[in-house]
Amino acid sequence: MATSYLDRGEGRIAYDVQGTGPLVICLHGMGDLRSVYRFTVPALVAAGYRVATMDLRGHGDSEDSFAAFDDVAAGTDALALAEHLGGGALLVGNSMSAGAAVWAAAERPDVVIGMVLIGPFVRNPAGNQLLTLGFRLLLTKPWGPAASRAYYRKSYPGRPPADLDEHIDRIRQSLRRGRHWRSFVRTTRTDHTPARDRLGQVRAPTLVVMGTKDPDWPDPSAEAGFVADALQAEVLLVPEAGHYPMAEYPELVNPALIAFARRVIRSA
């Protein structure tokens, strides 16, 4: 795949495009890479979709020269990419990028025709200031990179993909590039309030995908229910999966994603 770049004024966002047909844009979560969708893209392309995967600001092949790295920033980048590639798109957002997709759908309902939210963060998790401070200290070098890799691995509690070690190594190499570690740490400070405040304004059809063992939530099924209720969304609970069910159990997630995409694009 050839990497393309979208100039956003402050810097460039990296993306790639495969396939032909209606547009689907896949957004990864913080500290990850667009290749997290390596099991999703081939299925969508085979089903007749044009699929763009985008690196968040300060991640992968995207640049670090931005002032903001939060949900709104990622949402504006997704909208800009959709318009650059020709208009209406189905957005697939994992983790914090689910919040970005929600914000984008509320901001530009003419561009976002539907959403698939995987392991979604559309509000701040319950917690306290001591836990937040502890998390920030955990990410402080020299032990921060190793701690982040260990937590990432923990997010695959069910059936980790055979190439997980290689994917984690790609993440490790990415975080050593330029000022990517600094960008990642800034991304972890994202406040999801802008996404939560726009939930009631979203009219796009939505599918919520949640692993039943997602370690980011004390009760993943309850969180999926909250998001679904707020967005009048469909829900797919993936047994045994963690924060990345599309990579752990693609044989369960891909058919549901494709069936949803067909319904949404047909109605649009």
Q: Among 66-75, 182-191, 255-264, where is mean pLDDT lowest?
A: 182-191
Q: Using pLDDT thresholds of 50, 70 and 90, give the confidence band for residue 147.
A: confident
The rounded distance, in Å, linking the Cα atoms of 205 and 211 is 20
Whole-number percent of the chain with pLDDT over 90 = 87
Question: pLDDT per residue over 77-110, tens digit each?
Answer: 999 999 999 989 999 999 999 999 999 999 999 9
- Using CA atoms in the order 86, 82, 34, 162, what is the torsion angle rounded to 10 degrees? -70
End-to-end alpha-carbon separation of the chain, Å? 29
pTM exceeds 0.85, yes or no: yes
Identify the pLDDT of residue 139.
66
Name the residue with tokens 């800009």: 80
For residue 145, pLDDT beyond 90: no
Residue boundaries of the structural domains of the chain = 4-267
Q: What is the C-alpha radius of gyration for the chain, rounded to an integer number of angstroms?
A: 17
Higher-pLDDT residue of 37, 188: 37
DSSP code of 235? E
Residue 215: burial class (beta carbons within 10 Å; 0-12, 13-18, 19+): middle
- Topology (CATH) of 4-267: Rossmann fold (3.40.50)
- Is the preceding peptide bond at 142 cis, omega within 30 degrees of 0? yes
